[in-house]
Structure 1
């Protein structure tokens, strides 16, 4: 069989298997019904069983040795090779992995903790941590948000060990190591970059965090040393709390988030409003309480799930998720199916993050929220400092998660609860609750839903900083223009995964990924 015919057959098969997974996944995430969670497990098993075929795997490897391959043929074969390599397992093992994952996702989506007889949604917890000055209510809500960790811990650790067994069966030390290789990421390089970011941001982060802690201690009438995780606005300290100066929630109270999102992308000649028809944007019981974007068929059926409320958090989330959606929508549908996806998850995260942080951007606030120059002059200095704090808090949180996850797969039998709080304390500088020995780490759904994925968020931020600087320096001093939109559509979205992710970044910005852009933007103390 020629390589062309082989690739044609594989693309058709991948399309069929992929659509089955995405359609059942969408139903599972939007209904919370066990029946759909089971179907996701079956679809994933079918996908992985196909890629467990050793004869097809050998064929891919043999074709890759041919000398007359085109660049497009090579990229397709490399994409297939990664899928086959991690699935060279017995069907029973693949089925067990898929079912365990599906069961855990269902448990996450349907679990609602109770406090004083009242069930709390993720939005309820968020609102309490954002707004309540009742210290007991805050502590109760924070602890309630962690309860799901105890519910899923046993099954999640089983899944971790099963993933490790699967990785060892195909020649790796553990699942984490395998995942990095299959994502075309150099583990040593990425962890060195992240440690360097911790080091380079240390003075700035400590000063800004100290200022934040002093504000919170004054607000709650306590010593800084008595601050605990529930005194911050996010259960994992992923976000910076807005001050009175930087709290933009009042500006969104009567705004239509869907219209603002559509207007943003339309101004750049990247219309996305048509994607609302099949998206699921408002909260209700049973559906996934977070937010995500899913490309269901790689032919235009792209959907977003949100749980919107009229505030700045969900405005940023809408821009973030529809950043993903725009990337998916404007991929070149003439590409072979296996390449009709972002160059890497980090590149789609880069676009999502580029748009998601625009709620604090002066140009966006002026153009779409219609704030006048006087308001913006008042807001701008505080928002600039707030964005720096947000980015450093986010980076430290991601690094905490990533360092922990590596340890989780390298030694799942260690005292994970103690390890978690050690990393939180050392990297995020958050004090652990006294005498607490519970699996708070397991309350984060990404260990189940998106294993060994989290590093892509920070790599996305690094790429976003580099891309944004390139646009400002070489393309346009205004961001929300058709010029910038057309550039993103044609140069960043359209090529899909035609190129290795770092080659793609170099083609678009003139150089490979360079963390210095993020360092220059966020890691240095503002002397003003």
Structure 2
């Protein structure tokens, strides 16, 4: 069999398996029904078993050992190899991990915290932490947001141990190290970059947090040493709190988030109306409470799940998720199925973050929200400060998650609860609650749903800053033009996974990923 025929066969099979899994997963997330959880597990297991086939794996290895003239064929084989390595296990073990993971995701989809004897949603808790001045209510709401952690802890740790066990069978230190290698990420480089970024941002972040804490002291009439996690506006301190001088929510009154999002992309020559129609954007019982984007068939069926309320938070989320969606939609449809995807998770996160940042762009507020020019000009310093605050807070949060996850896989049997709060205190400067003997960390769905993924958010932010700098210096100072849209589509979206992610960034911006642009934009004190 020729290499070309072999790859054609594999692409046809991967397409069928991908669609089965994506459709089942979408139904599971939107309905919370057990039958779809089971179908998702079956579809994921079928895909893993396909990639576990030893004869197929040996063929891929043999082809890669040869001289391959067509670079696209080589890239396809490299992509297949990465998927196959992790699945070179007995079917029973693959099935066990998928079933455990799917069961946990099902718990996250349907779980609702209890507060004062009543079920509450994550939106409910978020509103209490943003708006309530009742300190007892805030503390209770924060603890309620972590109830899911106790619910999933035992099975999640079993899954972590199982992931490690299988990674070691395949010759890796642990699942974390394997995941980095198979994602084409240099783990030492990534964590050295994060450590350096932490050191560079320590003092700016300390100053920023001191200002925030002083506002909390004044608002709640407490001492600065009394501040605890529930005094912040987000359960994990990953979002900047609303500023008392800058409340953007009133600007959204009477606005339609779908129309705002569509208009933003339309200004750049991109049509997202087809994807809006297929999406599931509003909250209801048993539906996944988070937000994500799914490319169901890599042929145009792209959908977003949100839980919108009319607010700045969900407007930014819509822009973010449809950034993913636009990337998926405009990938070259002529590429082989296996490469008809973003170059890397971090590159699609970069585009999502580029659009998410627009919610804090004065020009966007004036053009799309219809805010008066004089009002925008008066708010611009506060908006810029708000975006910088958000970037520093989210960067420190991502580091916290990434540092902890590395240690989680290094030794899942250590005192993880104490470790969590040690890292939170060291990186986020947050004083732990008195009771640390609780799996607060496990309440974050990413440990279960997308393991060893979180570093890509910060790598994405670094890429976004590099992209913004390049666009403003070389394409247009006004983001909302078809010229910018053409650049993004042709240079970033269209190539799909044709190249290694860093080669792609270099081709699009003139240099490989360089953290200096993020540092100059948000860390350095001007």
Q: CA deviation at 1:65?
A: 1.4
Contact 1:105/1:448 (CA < 8 Å) preserved in 2? Answer: yes
Contact 1:396/1:428 (CA < 8 Å) preserved in 2? Answer: yes
Distance in 2, matches of 1:245 and 1:506, equals 40
Distance in 1, matches of 2:367 and 2:17, equals 43
Q: CA deviation at 1:278?
A: 1.2
Tell me, yes or no, if structure 1 residue 387 matches structure 2 residue 387: yes
Residue 486 of structure 2 is matched in structure 1 by 486
Q: CA deviation at 1:253?
A: 2.0
SS state of the match for residue 52, structure 2?
Answer: coil
Residue 101 of structure 1 is matched in structure 2 by 101
Q: Which structure 2 segments of 5+ residues have no match?
A: none
Distance in 2, matches of 1:435 and 1:460, equals 34
1:432-443 paired onto structure 2 within 5 Å:
432-443=432-443
SS state of the match for residue 25, structure 2?
Answer: helix
Contact 1:302/1:328 (CA < 8 Å) preserved in 2? Answer: yes
TM-score when normalising by structure 1: 0.99
1:293-304 paired onto structure 2 within 5 Å:
293-304=293-304
Q: CA deviation at 1:68?
A: 3.4
Q: CA deviation at 1:198?
A: 0.3
SS state of the match for residue 171, structure 2?
Answer: coil
Q: CA deviation at 1:114?
A: 1.1
Distance in 2, matches of 1:11 and 1:145, equals 42
Q: Which structure 1 segments of 5+ residues have no match?
A: none
Distance in 1, matches of 2:502 and 2:114, equals 46
Q: CA deviation at 1:519?
A: 0.4
Residue 246 of structure 2 is matched in structure 1 by 246
Residue 448 of structure 1 is matched in structure 2 by 448
1:352-391 paired onto structure 2 within 5 Å:
352-391=352-391
Tell me, yes or no, if structure 1 residue 16 matches structure 2 residue 19: no
Contact 1:345/1:456 (CA < 8 Å) preserved in 2? Answer: yes
Distance in 2, matches of 1:32 and 1:85, equals 32
Q: CA deviation at 1:254?
A: 1.5
Contact 1:346/1:459 (CA < 8 Å) preserved in 2? Answer: yes
- Count of matched residue positions in the alignment of Structure 1 and Structure 2: 526
Distance in 2, matches of 1:67 and 1:90, equals 31
Indicate the RMSD between aligned Cα atoms, in angstroms.
Answer: 0.7
Residue 502 of structure 2 is matched in structure 1 by 502
Distance in 2, matches of 1:246 and 1:17, equals 48
SS state of the match for residue 304, structure 1?
Answer: strand
Contact 2:251/2:371 (CA < 8 Å) preserved in 1? Answer: no
Distance in 2, matches of 1:274 and 1:267, equals 16
- Which deviates the most, 25-34 or 67-76? 67-76
TM-score when normalising by structure 2: 0.99
Distance in 2, matches of 1:269 and 1:255, equals 22
Q: CA deviation at 1:243?
A: 1.0
Distance in 1, matches of 2:425 and 2:383, equals 27
Q: CA deviation at 1:445?
A: 0.2
Distance in 2, matches of 1:194 and 1:427, equals 11
1:25-174 paired onto structure 2 within 5 Å:
25-174=25-174
Contact 1:104/1:448 (CA < 8 Å) preserved in 2? Answer: yes
Distance in 2, matches of 1:424 and 1:468, equals 30
Residue 270 of structure 1 is matched in structure 2 by 270
Distance in 2, matches of 1:69 and 1:396, equals 44
Q: CA deviation at 1:344?
A: 0.2
Distance in 2, matches of 1:242 and 1:150, equals 29
Q: CA deviation at 1:273?
A: 1.3
Tell me, yes or no, if structure 1 residue 463 matches structure 2 residue 463: yes
SS state of the match for residue 237, structure 2?
Answer: coil
Q: CA deviation at 1:426?
A: 0.5
Contact 1:245/1:379 (CA < 8 Å) preserved in 2? Answer: no
Question: Which of structure 1's runs of 4+ aligned residues deviate more than 6 A?
Answer: none
Q: CA deviation at 1:118?
A: 1.3
1:154-303 paired onto structure 2 within 5 Å:
154-303=154-303
For 1:351-370, what per-residue CA distance to the aligned partner results, in whole angstroms no more than 9, with x for missing partners?
Answer: 00000011110110111011
Q: CA deviation at 1:435?
A: 2.7
Distance in 1, matches of 2:359 and 2:65, equals 49
For 1:336-382, what per-residue CA distance to the aligned partner results, in whole angstroms no more than 9, with x for missing partners?
Answer: 00000000000000000000011110110111011122101211111
Contact 1:346/1:456 (CA < 8 Å) preserved in 2? Answer: yes
Q: CA deviation at 1:436?
A: 2.7
- Which deviates the most, 31-40 or 72-81? 31-40
SS state of the match for residue 293, structure 2?
Answer: strand
For 1:406-438, what per-residue CA distance to the aligned partner results, in whole angstroms no more than 9, with x for missing partners?
Answer: 000010000000000000000000110013310
